[in-house]
Amino acid sequence: MHEDRLKKIKCLEELLSYEFRDIDLLDTALTHRSYVNENQEPGCKDNERLEFLGDAVLQLCISDILVKQFPDYTEGQLSKLRASMVNEQPLAKVALDFHIGDFMLLGKGEEASGGKAKNSILADTFEAIIAAIYLDRGYEKVFSFINNIFRPRIAKWGKEPIYRDYKSLLQELCQSRFKTIPKYELIAEFGPDHDKTFQIGVSAGSMISETGLGKNKKEAEQEAAREALEKMEEAKS
């Protein structure tokens, strides 16, 4: 790792209030695949494997916190509360709070398209950092890290989640009302590879047919589900 890079990510360590034994783990967590594709440096790895692990670690830690903090909640209530915290938007907000975008390594095209401010990339990078801490010092340390960040937010998000899982809400409503589940289909893709927009359609038999746009497929599905829920609400009134 170059000395300038080491100095820079040491600043992120201070923001995170966590000192790595293996600083290379943090460097990898901050490295997007677009950077690796453009820079074939020996030993340069992207953060996708860390993101995969970090997602699972975060789910476990948040579940652990919620079970202890809300002993009277049902499994369904805990699942909905967890879903409001471990999705793209709230994770991206946490990443922004730590200025993680300033430390990420992106390819030139991705960076030019505003990649350092994209919710999907910010959220994925934060999950990768969680995995890096877990691999660096184990569960107790990563749990302490996550607990310190999320516990102050849980009381607020538990009452007023900043993210709504429209897909889950639509599925529950369709199962209750129509005895079927929604189906999602990719309709179109627009734009260059580094800055695509996706159009997704959602349907439930002959009762629902709506579309949504997003910068990734998950975002487009959520938008399509939101549109479908609004249409169903209008039909009731």
Domain stop point among 159, 174, 191: 159
Q: Which domain holds residue 41?
A: 10-159
The domain boundary, picked from 144, 159, 174, lies at 159
Q: Look at residue 2 and tell me if it is in a domain.
A: no
Residue 19 designated active-site = no
- Burial letters for 82-93: b for 16+ Cβ neighbours within 10 Å, e otherwise? bbbbbbbbbbbb
CA distance 142 to 131: 8
In a domain, 69, yes or no: yes
Q: Is residue 5 part of a domain?
A: no
Q: Is 127 a catalytic residue?
A: yes
For residue 229, the 8-state DSSP code is H
Burial class (CB in 10 A: 0-12, 13-18, 19+), 191: exposed
Of the residues 55, 110, 219, 221, which is catalytic?
55
Distance CA(147)–CA(133), nearest Å, equals: 13
Neighbouring-strand partners of residue 31: 105
Render each residue's pLDDT in the chain as its tens digit; 237 residues. 788 989 999 999 999 999 999 999 999 999 999 999 888 777 789 999 999 999 999 999 999 999 998 888 888 778 878 877 888 888 998 999 999 999 999 999 888 888 888 888 999 999 999 999 999 999 999 999 999 998 887 776 655 554 567 888 888 888 888 888 999 999 999 888 877 889 999 998 777 889 999 888 988 998 899 888 888 777 665
- Give the CA-trace dihedral at 62, 64, 70, 74, to 10 degrees: 90
Residues 41 and 108 in one domain: yes
- Domain membership of residue 3 (yes or no) is no
Q: What is the pTM of this model?
A: 0.69
Instruction: Single out the catalytic residue among 51, 110, 127, 219.
Output: 127
DSSP assigned state of 42: T
* Contact assessment for residue 51 and residue 44, using Cβ atoms and an 8 Å cutoff: no
